[in-house]
Amino acid sequence: MKLMAMKKSILCLAGACALLFTACEDTSDLGTMQVNEKPALVSSNGVSSRFLIGNSIDLATYENLDLPVLHTEMKADFPTSAKTGGVLQLSSTPDFEEGTTVNVDMVAINDSEENDVRKADVAIEGNAWENAFVEFFGKAPYAKDMYVRYKLYINDGSQTLILPYQGEDWWPVYTVNVTPVDLKYDVRPSYSVFGSFLPDTGVEMIHGEGHEYDNPVFTAFVNVSEEQAAAGYTITISPTDDPSVVYGVEPGYESDLSGRLVLGGLPVKLPFGPWKIEANMITKMYTISIALDKLYVPSFGNNNSFTRNCGTLLTDDFITYTGAAYISKGFGLTGQPSLRGVLYTKGDTENSIKLDTGRILNDGNMIPVEKNGLYWLNVNLINKTADATLLETLGLVGEMTGWADGKDIALTPSKAQASQYTTWTGEVTFTKAGEQFKIRANGSWTTNFGGELDDLKWDGGNLLSPGAGTYKVTVNLLTHPYSITLVAK
């Protein structure tokens, strides 16, 4: 076990504490790291303590039990009713910085007196140490080094006195190799999708960072053709190293695109389209969603044309799609530059959408809007929602306006059919290079754009001016990446 000297100055809660103990010689300087196979009794100001945990500990031994961590000895100068206690501080780093520590209360057990010396063991709840380990390192059942120090005190019912170590509240630091409780979750390190049109070896699912206990979500992508869908495209999930263990669904749920997997269940049937398969293999819940790189927004405003000013929405997760689009009367969402294929139309409730493959967008199934104009769309394909915010105005706000509300420098939208309301122009004067500013809609921060001049992002960081002077401003919200062009006048 490694022993390191503490160099931090901690406030003592009772300055008179040293007067209550018989002085004794302090231990030698602990500035040099030591290794103690059997922790020795460490003494200071008449108080001695021994760390009861050795170089390592297996927390499974103390699950739901008390865990003795210290043995303490002191002169019996206190009433027998006085209680020995303290705080054990656990940390993932040796410097015990804020955010890397957890404090756990210690209580005395096996309190006794012998030869005018009061002795006690001090314990914590074993589960408290386990909880701290999980907070620092997650649920993965791998041993990690943790750093431990403690603060001792006596409570006589009316006051609490700190029992210091060489003038410091905290006693020396120990390093302990800690093995956490293995939660024994029913989850494997790797899974694969097997299906009627997939290779016999299946397709291994993608797993993100972290141990499968902490990140039990596995993902795969498949593309189902119309012919395959007609023939019956089905999938199951199995551990990659044991395809004989098969997860499917209960009878009657074969066509559901979300639900619970069961061991030995029936295959899930996939319709035509590109699909993202996501499964939490601890909860055994799965979700299958359309895996589209983008969504197109046909509308009466572009006569449902995909070659004129049809807006497009992009995504980072194949679930949430955002972007701007000019809309007249109503709109639809398609997964391809065509009305045939993946099509989302008006749902049964306000702002809801539904998958409507095999049909054509028309007056009856378009998602309606109250007013023609440029909209910022936020579409969620899992929740089946489409929120549309009308961008009635766009303006520049920043250091040149004092960031003041009502002082936005207004931009004028284009009204040519080829770029209806998707290009906005104006003029701005900057006083210096690097002057900070943003673009916002409707004079509000609810919808704003920032990031980089050639890559505008919704709610991105502050933009920077290229230099002092007056500039012609052009904002493009039609083609990705969105951009703002500044041309010196």
pLDDT digits (tens, 9 = 90+) for 230-267: 999 999 999 999 999 999 999 999 999 999 999 999 99
- Output 272 or 440, whichever has higher pLDDT: 440
Query: How far apart (Å, rounded) are the C-alpha atoms in residues 182 and 259?
Result: 28
Residue percentage of the chain with pLDDT more than 70: 88
Q: Cα(180)–Cα(189) distance, rounded to whole angstroms? A: 19
Please compute the mean of the pLDDT values over residues 113-135 and round it to a whole number.
90
Residue 231 has φ and ψ, to the nearest 5°, of: -80, -15
Token pair of 419 as six digits: 């770029």
Sign, CA torsion 62/67/68/69? positive
Whose CA is closest to 324, among 408, 390, 415? Answer: 390
| pTM, rounded to two decimals | 0.63
pLDDT for 419 equals 65
Instruction: pLDDT band for 67, please (50, 70, 90 cuts).
Output: very high
Flag whether pLDDT at 305 surpasses 90: no
- When pLDDT is cut at 50, 70 and 90, the band that residue 307 belongs to is low
pLDDT tier at 85, thresholds 50, 70, 90: confident
Report the range of poorest mean pLDDT among 72-81, 224-233, 380-389, 432-441: 72-81
pLDDT at 304: 56
Rounded distance between C-alpha atoms, residue 131 and residue 199, angstroms: 43
Rg of the chain (C-alpha set): 33
20: left (phi over 0), alpha (psi -120 to 50) or beta: alpha
Q: Is the pLDDT of residue 463 over 60?
A: yes
**How far, in Å, CA of 148 to CA of 4, rounded?**
10
What confidence score (pLDDT) does residue 206 get?
A: 93
Residue 13 has pLDDT above 90, yes or no: no
Phi, then psi, of 376 in degrees rounded to 5? -100, 120
List pLDDT tens digits, range 182-208: 999 999 999 999 999 999 999 999 998
Q: To which residue do tokens 């709610």 refer?
A: 459
What local confidence, expressed as pLDDT, does residue 35 receive?
38
Report the pLDDT value the prediction gives residue 337, as an integer from 0 to 100.
87
In the prediction, which pLDDT does 17 show? 35
* Amino acid present at 209: E
Residues 470-474 have a mean pLDDT of 97
Cis bond upstream, residue 481 (ω within 30): yes
Least-confidence region, from 76-85, 286-295, 393-402, 424-433: 76-85
Sign for the pseudo-dihedral over CA of 20, 21, 25, 27: negative
State the pLDDT at residue 301: 58
Average pLDDT over the chain, rounded to whole?
86
pLDDT tops 50 at residue 417: yes
Q: Could you identify the residue written with the tokens 């002191």?
A: 74
pLDDT of amino acid 308: 66
Mean pLDDT along residues 262-278: 94
- Where is pLDDT greater, at 38 or 481? 481
The CA distance from 238 to 234, in Å, is 14
Higher pLDDT, residue 363 or 221:
221
Q: Is 139 left (phi over 0), alpha (psi -120 to 50) or beta?
A: alpha
pLDDT reading at 99 higher than 90: no
